[in-house]
Amino acid sequence: MLVVGEIRDGRLVPSSLEAVAAARACAGPADAPEGLLVGPAARTESGAFAAAGLGTVHCDADEALARPTPWAWSRAIVAAATAAGAETIVLAGTAAGRDVVGRVAAVWEAAGVTGVTAIARGPTGRLRLTRPVFGGRATEELEVAAPRAVLAVRPHAFAPPPAGTTAATASDLSAPRPEKDGRITGFERVAGGAGPELGDAAIVVSGGRGVRAAENFSLIEDLARAFGAAVGASRAVTDAGWRPVSFQVGQTGKSVTPQLYLAVGISGAIQHLVGMVGSRVIVAINSDAQAPIFRVADYGVVGDLFQIVPALTREVRKARGLG
Ligand SMILES: Cc1cc2nc3c(=O)[nH]c(=O)nc-3n(C[C@H](O)[C@H](O)[C@H](O)COP(=O)(O)OP(=O)(O)OC[C@H]3O[C@@H](n4cnc5c(N)ncnc54)[C@H](O)[C@@H]3O)c2cc1C
């Protein structure tokens, strides 16, 4: 089994450790999963990656893989899977991870599955996978018949393993590069909140039309800052131009699956729900007790957000020792 870690801005992306947890959930005790890291930071980051419970970490430290194209990354993944003698490859379900699953599956002649939330082995040893489908309104259970599988696990579906004491055994890998490939020349960061990336965040605080005006959105941002959370928004907010479209959660925005999602002044239209219903715990604050958001909420507060949110922000800051 091979776990593919992702390095962004020279640091291991935390959800790579969730991929290790997923791999360990179905690997036998004598079958320590191996890892792959690419780019110039591969060796320095291999320690933290291995400590989550990996045997060897294959490192392709080529400078050209600092920002690998999906095609070059796929080549390295297949080379590492061959070196590891792996039959299953597990990746974090980040945008880059999901992007590469289909390519690797095609080249490696494997089944490719994204959005995986649980992994087990059936009595015959076949992989049994669970994932939400139809925007989280149903759960699909599937058994992989192909001998090889490439899996992307849904963010926050697996708790990262506690850091162990496994010493990293880094092994140099020099994967073949695609003969014809493009080159990523740069990234432009889209406007986002000051906190963590919306797609990766463990906590998301989203505001809707209930905040009434662009300037009131600072209430949402203050609460997000107190939690160390990312800021999201409904389409009503982005359509009104109160926040850029990069904040939008839902069918035509981002899909998020944080551990905690706070929906503030959001009614819970189906197009919003499909983007956040997979969150582990959902808290809704809304003045209308009949608002559909309460049907998916684990905790609901019926009341005026202009009173509740500042009080909640104060309490969260106090609880986190932020004064
Ligand atoms: C093709 C298509 C794609 C779409 N894609 C998306 C998408 O990706 N994401 C998305 O979000 N929407 C999307 N929509 C729009 C969606 O249908 C809803 O219109 C939108 O989600 C509504 O946003 P809202 O909940 O913020 O506003 P509203 O529905 O107007 O709800 C505002 C809520 O705030 C509450 N409220 C008002 N004042 C207060 C107060 N003082 N305190 C507490 N609560 C208060 C109200 O009770 C109400 O429930 C899409 C629509 C279409 C047709």
Would the pLDDT of 262 be above 80? yes
Ligand 1: centre distance to CA 207 (Å) = 9
Q: Does the Cβ of 33 fall within 6 Å of ligand 1?
A: no
**160-169, 177-186, 254-263, 281-290, range with the lowest pLDDT:** 160-169
* For residues 132-137, average pLDDT: 80
Contact in structure between 231 and 206 (CB atoms under 8 Å):
yes
pLDDT score for 224: 97
pLDDT, tens only, 190-222? 766 677 889 889 999 999 999 999 999 999 999
Domains and CATH numbers, the chain: 2-172 (3.40.50.620), 203-319 (3.40.50.1220)
Would the pLDDT of 6 be above 70? yes
* For residues 14-18, average pLDDT: 94
Residue 85 confidence class, pLDDT cut points 50, 70, 90: very high
pLDDT score for 37: 98
pLDDT score for 199: 85
Ligand 1 pocket test, pick from 234, 256, 261, 262 with the greatest ligand atom count within 8 Å of Cβ, gives: 234
Ligand 1 atom nearest 268 alpha carbon? 25
Would the pLDDT of 147 be above 70? yes
pLDDT score for 179: 82
Report the greatest alpha carbon distance in the chain: 61
Q: Does the Cβ of 232 fall within 6 Å of ligand 1?
A: no
Ligand 1: centre distance to CA 305 (Å) = 15
Indicate which residue's Cα is closest to atom 11 of ligand 1.
234
Would the pLDDT of 133 be above 90? no
Residue 181 confidence class, pLDDT cut points 50, 70, 90: confident
pLDDT score for 26: 84
Would the pLDDT of 232 be above 90? yes
The sheet carrying 88-92 orders its strands as: 111-116, 149-153, 88-92, 2-4, 34-38, 56-60, 169-172
Q: Does the Cβ of 300 fall within 6 Å of ligand 1?
A: no
State how far the Cα of 50 lies from the Cα of 36, in Å rounded to an integer.
10
Measured from the Cβ of residue 106, the count of other Cβ atoms closer than 10 Å reads 12
Would the pLDDT of 8 be above 80? yes
State how far the Cα of 77 lies from the Cα of 100, in Å rounded to an integer.
9
Q: Does the Cβ of 94 fall within 6 Å of ligand 1?
A: no
Ligand 1: centre distance to CA 262 (Å) = 14
Ligand 1: centre distance to CA 265 (Å) = 8
Ligand 1: centre distance to CA 315 (Å) = 27
